């Protein structure tokens, strides 16, 4: 495994630069997560939809993010009509499990089997093999809009899967604990090996991306709750398969090298961070995290400042004064308005 990590000087510089950027954002996000907690729910919802939509489309699904969102808003396994909907349901179930319980999900063979079982639980046609390693040889196949397919590479023979998975799980856990390699390199290497082995009859691509999220979260990259690496991979789907082929062409030889994959992996994570930052700023600036009533109160203050509570009560007559006072207190606490005076003389201005 270690021999596959040999990287030339130029690539080493690129890797160092990407790792430094990602780790810098990791530290920055820790502060933002505390200060801007009000934005997180919306960010998480957007990222969840994006991740599910992109990851299933990489495997050939045609559902848009809007269709994914509509499906999840009326989620019931008994109502799933086709395989695309079943895949969305399964991905959602595993992703939610990981986001809620990643600290309790160690990287073990049994846990990976369980996640695979959940991933495919909505598909009756997959019942015979879910949660079990493959028994029939399979291939990595790129699926394109219109139904066309292309074989990318052959995968590990079923007779070798259990041994190879055992080795990569042990290697990953050992190196994440010892820190001999940077955790981002270890996680990238695990993902490459998982895709190369393709241990299950179906669902390997989706599960690889879910396991990537799991390992990143367990390694302290908390922003993965709100970022979608899957979306960036979907945008660079052709390159995704190409860098896998670059390493695979020398599989089981001394020449096998995953440096192109590692660079690609880090770049996709970097781009996911860029999108997260942009989305964060957009939500913060549009104040879309406010309730309708809070937005109404804020807009009234902006347009009519200075205002008193009694003015707001007249402007929003259908709401109770107690609720309006709570909204004003919230807006003040969020640094969106400022208070001048006390008691009945109190007036409010928008924060400029």
Closest CA to 123 of 159, 91, 100, 162: 91
Question: Is domain 2-286 annotated with CATH 1.10.3290.10?
Answer: yes
pLDDT of residue 74: 77
Average pLDDT over residues 265-275: 98
CATH number of 292-350: 1.10.10.10
pLDDT of residue 334: 76
Residue spans in the chain of domains classed CATH 1.10.3290.10:
2-286
Residue 246 to residue 63: CA distance in whole angstroms = 30
Average pLDDT over residues 316-328: 89
Closest CA to 4 of 265, 251, 240: 251
pLDDT of residue 69: 92
Cβ atoms within 10 Å of 348's Cβ, excluding its own: 25
pLDDT of residue 282: 82
Query: Before 306, cis peptide (omega within 30)?
Result: yes
pLDDT band, residue 277 (cuts 50/70/90): very high
DSSP reduced 3-state for 143 = strand
Give the chain's mean pLDDT.
90
Average pLDDT over residues 204-222: 97
CA 187 remoteness from chain centre: 15
Torsion 216-222-228-232 (CA) sign: negative
pLDDT of residue 140: 82
Residue 340's DSSP bridge partners are 347
Residue spans in the chain of domains classed CATH 1.10.10.10:
292-350
- The phi-psi region of residue 208 (left if phi > 0; otherwise alpha if psi is between -120 and 50; otherwise beta) is alpha
pTM of the model: 0.81
Q: Is the pLDDT of residue 266 over 70?
A: yes
pLDDT of residue 126: 82
Percentage, residues of the chain above pLDDT 90: 63
pLDDT of residue 37: 63
Closest CA to 251 of 326, 201, 192, 325: 192
Closest CA to 239 of 152, 145, 147: 152
Q: Is the pLDDT of residue 80 over 90?
A: no
Q: Which of 33-37, 186-190, 233-237, 243-247 has the lowest mean pLDDT?
A: 33-37
Query: Tens of pLDDT along 177-203?
Result: 998 999 999 999 999 999 999 999 999
Residue 154 to residue 152: CA distance in whole angstroms = 7
Between vectors from CA 208 to CA 86 and to CA 242, what angle results, nearest 5°? 110
Q: In the numeric block, which tokens belong to residue 229?
A: 């690496």
Query: Tens of pLDDT along 148-173?
Result: 777 888 899 999 999 999 999 999 99
């Amino acid at each position: 495994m270690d021999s596959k990590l040999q990287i030339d000087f130029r690539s080493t510089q690129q890797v160092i630069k990407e790792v430094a950027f990602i780790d810098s954002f990791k530290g920055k996000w820790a502060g933002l997560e505390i200060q801007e907690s009000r934005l997180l729910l919306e960010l998480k919802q957007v990222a969840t939809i994006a991740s599910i939509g992109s990851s299933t489309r990489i495997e050939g699904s045609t559902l848009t993010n809007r269709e994914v969102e509509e499906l999840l808003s009326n989620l019931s396994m008994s109502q799933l009509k086709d395989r695309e909907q079943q895949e969305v349901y399964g991905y959602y179930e595993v992703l939610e499990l990981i986001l809620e319980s990643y600290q309790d999900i160690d990287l073990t063979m049994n846990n990976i089997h369980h996640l695979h079982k959940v991933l495919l639980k909505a598909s009756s046609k997959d019942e015979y093999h879910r949660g079990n390693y493959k028994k029939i040889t399979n291939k990595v196949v790129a699926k394109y809009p219109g139904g066309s397919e292309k074989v990318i590479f052959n995968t590990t023979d079923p007779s070798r899967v259990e041994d190879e998975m055992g080795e990569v799980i042990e290697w990953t856990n050992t190196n994440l604990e010892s820190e001999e390699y940077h955790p981002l390199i270890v996680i990238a290497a695990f993902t490459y090996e998982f895709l190369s082995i393709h241990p299950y009859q179906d669902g390997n691509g989706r599960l690889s991306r879910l396991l990537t999220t799991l390992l990143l979260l367990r390694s302290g990259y908390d922003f993965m709750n709100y970022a979608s690496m899957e979306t960036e991979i979907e945008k660079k789907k052709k390159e995704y398969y190409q860098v896998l082929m670059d390493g695979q062409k020398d599989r089981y030889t001394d020449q096998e090298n995953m440096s192109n994959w590692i660079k690609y992996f880090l770049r996709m994570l970097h781009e996911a961070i860029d999108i997260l930052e942009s989305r964060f700023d957009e939500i913060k600036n549009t104040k879309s995290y406010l309730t309708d009533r809070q937005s109404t109160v804020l807009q009234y203050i902006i347009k009519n400042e200075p205002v008193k509570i009694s003015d707001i009560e007249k402007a929003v007559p259908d709401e109770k004064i107690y609720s309006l006072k709570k909204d004003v207190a919230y807006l003040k606490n969020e640094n969106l308005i400022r208070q001048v005076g006390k008691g009945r003389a109190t007036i409010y201005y928008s924060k400029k």
